[in-house]
Structure 1
Amino acid sequence: MKKSTQTLLKSSGPVFSHTHLTDEAVAEFRCEVFTFYQRHGRHDMLWRHTDDPYRILVSEIMLQQTQVERVSLRYPAFIVAFPDPATLAKAPLSEVFAAWQGMGYNRRAVSLKKCAEKLENEHKGKVPCDPQVLATFPGIGPATASSICAFAFNLPVVFIETNIRRVFIHFFFSGAESVTDAEILPLVERTLDRENPRVWYWALMDLGTELKKSVPNPNRKSTAYVKQAPFAGSDRRIRGMILKYLIVTFPAREKAIAAQVSEEPARVRRILAALEGEGFILKGKDGYRLAE
């Protein structure tokens, strides 16, 4: 008898076999995933209501390390400020950082601007539909490149990200102690809806998000799992505070920056050196400022 989606979500054992996946099982798995999506899918995301490849590229880079709720708040204003690659490519980095505030991992903002420059300089402002080409862009690895191609061009590419991984571990490997992406990828390819990969991947990701709330995180079984370090008190937090300060106050000397972020001068000096070495900021005779 076919189980309900809610029963499948709460199942503590493998629902489908990862070693012997029949056509019937593939059809049942797809049905369950699509049924969940029809009932509970996140249909209010702006980037799901466009087929503009540039806007989808922006959303995918934003979503790499930031929760959907926060991206939903920042994405609309970012697109208004930088509606196309040409506008973003020409924009001062300070303006890009200002629009990025609240997203975290500011390196992605730099990568996104460099992507826009590469699009303008090498691709006539058009996002390429080849994931191997996209994977050469700053800040875009194979998985993000494939996700852009799936969502922007509806191409039947095969990739794994955290929510997709969670779905396959839950449904196919919940009895396992350790699971590699190499074991998951053939299942992703086997079950892929090649007629409508865009919606299929949306459905998988939404189901993966629900699983995170419903069951102990299946991704802890993944060999790719890395627990994120606490944000409070981290260098990452201080880096963000420094960049936010330099958006509106520049040039600024090291002493003033240390006072602003309330940290030991030696630690601030080390972080400033790292930011300068990575091209985020410039040091002049009168102090630090954002790189342009």
Structure 2
Amino acid sequence: AQAAPSDVLDAWQGMGYNRRALALHGAAQRVVEDWDGEFPRETRDLVALPGIGPATAQGIRSFAFDLPGVYLETNVRTVFLHHFFPDVPAVPDRELVPLIQAACPAAPGALADETAPFAVPLDDADTPRAWYYALLDYGAYLKKTLPNPSRRSAGYSRQSKFEGSRRQKRAHIVRMLLAARDGQPAGITLADVVVGVNEMEAAAGRGPVERELVAGILADLEREGFCRAEDDRWLSV
């Protein structure tokens, strides 16, 4: 929470989606400010934090706190599509939710009348955390050995290609901003960024990019909190 955003971004490099680094930083600050440093457990409190949606909230509850819930992500979706909807196309998540809920074991130590709507644990080792770890491993195995069942989800979409994309240029510019933060003077000019992006493009056998495209990416990054403009230079936050 006390780190500079640029330090968080620097540590995040290589893990993709730089927005998540800023969301993590913002969430850490909120936990310190609003929760006295103790991470919340309830879904409504988790989804109020930056970057945390319903699926991530349930993942936190399951893995961090061993609490039951509907953790619906791609590997979990794969398992339930494979077993309950073989050969059925375009299955909506609403059809999966009650099945995932009914299969997830209740919290450790829950009394018999406190388990619903979750499953009665088979033994002390049958906990939400262990169950979802198993589902993730099993879903990954299924995707390696069968045509990916998750493609039959109504919400399935293939991610656009990264190589040569605007996303790749954004990521490269973020790295340039981080590398230039200790320079004299700090930061980089628009001309510097254009040169750096074109060097990356040329190395990949692609043609040069337009200055307006680079300026637009820098404007987006500034609006999203990755950098700021100062005189004629761009500085990492």
Asked if 1:288 corresponds to 2:224, the answer is no
> How far has the Cα of 1:100 moved from its partner?
0.6
Name the counterpart of 1:179.
91
| Partner-residue secondary structure (3-state), 1:236 | helix
Contact 2:82 / 2:149 at 8 angstroms: preserved in 1? yes
Name the counterpart of 2:111.
none
Name the counterpart of 1:120.
32
Name the counterpart of 1:261.
197
RMSD between aligned alpha carbons? 1.0
Asked if 1:279 corresponds to 2:225, the answer is yes
> How far has the Cα of 1:286 moved from its partner?
3.7
| Partner-residue secondary structure (3-state), 1:242 | helix
Contact 1:219 / 1:225 at 8 angstroms: preserved in 2? yes
1:165 to 55, 77, 87: 77
Asked if 1:200 corresponds to 2:131, the answer is yes
> How far has the Cα of 1:220 moved from its partner?
1.1
> How far has the Cα of 1:202 moved from its partner?
0.4
Query: When the two structures are superposed, what TM-score results if normalisation uses the length of structure 2?
Result: 0.83
Q: 1:15-49 deviations in whole A, cap 9, x for unaligned?
A: xxxxxxxxxxxxxxxxxxxxxxxxxxxxxxxxxxx
Q: Show the 5 A alignment for 1:43-82.
A: none
> How far has the Cα of 1:188 moved from its partner?
0.4
Asked if 1:153 corresponds to 2:74, the answer is no
Contact 1:251 / 1:286 at 8 angstroms: preserved in 2? no
Structure 1 unaligned residues grouped into runs of 5+: 1-88
Structure 2 unaligned residues grouped into runs of 5+: 107-120, 122-126, 181-185, 199-208
| Partner-residue secondary structure (3-state), 1:223 | coil
Name the counterpart of 2:23.
111
> How far has the Cα of 1:159 moved from its partner?
2.4
Identity, in percent, stands at: 42
**1:202 and 1:159 mapped to 2: Cα distance?**
11
**2:51 and 2:193 mapped to 1: Cα distance?**
28
> How far has the Cα of 1:190 moved from its partner?
1.4
> How far has the Cα of 1:193 moved from its partner?
2.0
Asked if 1:221 corresponds to 2:152, the answer is yes
> How far has the Cα of 1:119 moved from its partner?
0.5
Name the counterpart of 2:124.
none
> How far has the Cα of 1:259 moved from its partner?
0.3
| Partner-residue secondary structure (3-state), 2:15 | coil
Which structure 1 residue ranges, 4+ long, deviate > 4 Å from structure 2? Answer: none
Contact 2:10 / 2:178 at 8 angstroms: preserved in 1? yes
Name the counterpart of 2:168.
237
Give the partner amino acid of 1:141: G
Q: How many residues align?
A: 203
Q: Show the 5 A alignment for 1:7-86.
A: none
| Partner-residue secondary structure (3-state), 1:288 | strand
**1:286 and 1:95 mapped to 2: Cα distance?**
23
Query: When the two structures are superposed, what TM-score results if normalisation uses the length of structure 1?
Result: 0.68
Tell me: higher relative CO, structure 1 or 2? Use CA pairs within 8 A at least 6 residues apart: 1
**1:282 and 1:157 mapped to 2: Cα distance?**
40
**1:125 and 1:261 mapped to 2: Cα distance?**
40
Name the counterpart of 1:20.
none
Q: 1:230-274 deviations in whole A, cap 9, x for unaligned?
A: 000111111111110111213100010110111321210111111
> How far has the Cα of 1:110 moved from its partner?
0.1
Give the partner amino acid of 1:269: A
